[in-house]
A = this chain, B = another copy of it.
Amino acid sequence: MSEFKEIYNAIHEAQDGKELTPKQEQILKAAVEIFAEKGYASSSTSEIAARAGVAEGTIFRHYKTKKDLLFSIVTPFMTQFTVPLLASHFTKEVFDEPPEGFEPFLKKIIKNRFEFAKENAPLLKIVLQEIAFQPELQARYESVFLEEVFPKFERALNELKEQGSVIDFPNRSIIRMIISTVVGFLVTRFLLAPESYWEDEEELDRTIHFIMYGLGGK
């Protein structure tokens, strides 16, 4: 919750050179909650204003349209979620300690994104929902993921394949399988069955085992 504020404040500051107004924070918080509860299309600006304790006009003072409000919420999250995947030490790590570089690489990346998802579950839900219908979000995903994350991932995989520690599948197949497994875990854990009892540490280790052996070389 405090992290929430920080992320948006930092991003807004970087864009506008100003901090978020208290009311603006309340609007963002309320919008995230309501979008996650009922979906973007079924959420009304009047309800968001009411929950934020703010006049409806105040929303439109800061965000030109309702869609603009959605993007102001979703875009920073998408960026924050992928940024660590771009950090150079993640790819370096794979090469530094061969041939057992794959497992710690995966472990670190997954546990890291797990913690982030844990603190931003509603945002995860909003993104997964809205990316299906908002072309602007798809475009953003493609430009960031396909142009930045994918190539880095691919370089690491090619190296690992040469070491023989990863099976010789097409890179996009491998990446699809890893992401399916991780996203499937995050969705089950935080969106489908957040109330269940979860042994997070063990479940993470099992998930990593699944990927490691599923994609192991030779």
Contacts and interface: CB of A to CB of B under 8 A. Distances in A.
A177 B207 CA distance: 8
B133 A39 contact: yes
A99 B42 CA distance: 51
Taking the full assembly, how many copies of this chain does it contain? 2
Interface residues of A, number: 32
Interface string A157-192: 000000000010100010011011101110010010
A184 B129 CA distance: 15
A1 interface: no
Contacts of A215: 210, 213-214
22 contacts: A38-B133, A39-B41, A39-B132, A39-B133, A41-B41, A125-B132, A129-B129, A176-B185, A176-B188, A177-B184, A177-B210, A179-B184, A180-B180, A180-B181, A180-B185, A181-B181, A183-B184, A184-B184, A209-B214, A210-B214, A211-B214, A214-B214
